[in-house]
Amino acid sequence: MPSKRYKKALQLVDLRKVYPLKAAVEVLLKFPRAKFDESVDLAFRLGVDPKQSDQMVRGTVPLPHGSGKQVRVLVFAKPGASADAAKAAGAEHVGFEDLIKKCNEGWADFDIAVATPEAMIEVRKLGKVLGPRGLMPNPKTGTVTEDTARAVREVKAGRVEYKVDKTGNVHVAVGKLSFKPEQIEENVRIVIESVGKARPSSVKGIYLQSCTLSGTMSPPVRVDVRDANAAG
C-alpha cells in the first residue's frame, strides 16, 4: 500500500511522460522527502540479452560529485607494500588468509573488494560467496590491481560500478537528494554517456530503451536519454 508521501509524489509526476534531464531532476527534487537523505538511483532498460556472453554490459565510471555514499573497502593482499599502501589510502579492511576465511564464513561487512593479482589465486575460490553479492574483484572494473592505493582512492572518491542484471536492467546510484540539482545532472549525464558507450557490438535495434531517475522512496521519473547525451 503506497504511503501518503508516495501518493503526494505521484501527483507531481506524469509517469507516461519522458522529461528532459533538467526537468526530470526538478520534478525529483519537488517530491516530499523521507526522514533520511535518500539515494538517487538511475535505472536503464537495455535492449540486450544478458544470457548471451557477447551482450554483457558492465563498467565503471567516476562521478564528478561522488555518490554521497560512505564506501567501505576491503583489500585482499599479502603482507607487504600493496597491503601497506591500501591501509594508507584508507581501506577499512586489509588482509589475506584471515579475510578469505571470514568471507567464506558469510561475513560481508564491506561495499567494494579489491585484490592484488597474486591474492586473486586464492580469492577466486570465493566466487560462489562473493559473486552473487556483486563483491567479487574483477580486472575489468579496476579492482584487481597491484596499485591498491589508487583503486581505494578512486572508489572512495565516487567511482561507481554497473552491470546489467539477468532481466536486462542496469541500476546505478548517482548521488543523494541533498545534492544540488546541477550536481545530480552532471553525475547522471556521465553515467548515461558511459552506459551508452558500453553498448555491445552484437546488439541490434534500440539499445537504451528507457531510463528513469528516482529517490529511494519516490516514484520514477522518465528521462530523455537523447537530451542528456546532446547536452553533455
Q: Do 152 and 104 lie in a common domain?
A: yes
- Tell whether 7 is covered by a domain: no
Query: pLDDT tens for residues 177-211?
Result: 999 999 999 999 999 999 999 999 999 999 999 99
Q: Which domain holds residue 129?
A: 73-157
Type and span of the H or E element at 192: helix 181-197
CATH of the domain at 26: 3.30.190.20
Is pTM beyond 0.85? Reply is: no
- Helices 181-197 and 21-30 pack at an angle, to 10 degrees, of 130
- Examine the fold and report which residue of 157, 178, 212 is the final residue of a domain before the chain moves on: 157
137: cell is 574483484
Query: What φ, ψ does residue 223 adopt, rounded to 5°?
Result: -110, 135
Per residue in 107-165, pLDDT (tens digit) is 999 999 999 999 999 999 999 999 988 899 999 888 999 999 999 999 898 888 899 99
pLDDT for the residue 45: 96
In 3D space, the residue among 135, 90, 134, 85 whose CA is nearest the CA of residue 113 turns out to be 135
In a domain, 177, yes or no: yes
Same domain for 178 and 153, yes or no, is no
* Domain finish residue from 157, 178, 199: 157
Residue 89 lies inside a defined structural domain of this protein: yes
Q: Are residues 132 and 187 in the same domain?
A: no
198 alpha carbon, distance to own chain's centre: 14
Nearest to 69 by CA among 196, 161, 148: 161
State the pLDDT at residue 229. 63
pLDDT at 216: 94
Residues 75-92 have a mean pLDDT of 96
Count structural domains, the chain.
2
Same domain, 163 and 150: no
Question: Could you tell me which residues are beta bridge partners of residue 144?
Answer: 115
Q: What nine digits make up the cell of 187?
A: 553525475
Tell whether 150 and 181 lie within a shared domain.
no
Return the higher-pLDDT residue of 1 and 221.
221
Cell numbers for 186: 552532471
Query: Which residue, of 131, 157, 183, is where some domain finishes?
Result: 157
Instruction: Using DSSP, state whether 221 is helix, strand or coil.
Output: strand
Is residue 114 within 8 Å of 108, Cβ to Cβ? no
In a domain, 104, yes or no: yes
Residue 107 maps to which CATH number?
Answer: 3.40.50.790
Q: Are residues 86 and 143 in the same domain?
A: yes
* 130 plus 119 within the same structural domain: yes
> Residue 33 burial (CB < 10 Å; 0-12/13-18/19+)?
middle
Residues 67-76: pLDDT tens digits?
A: 898 889 999 9
Among 19, 63, 46, 64, which residue's Cα sits nearest to residue 219?
Answer: 19
Same domain, 77 and 130: yes
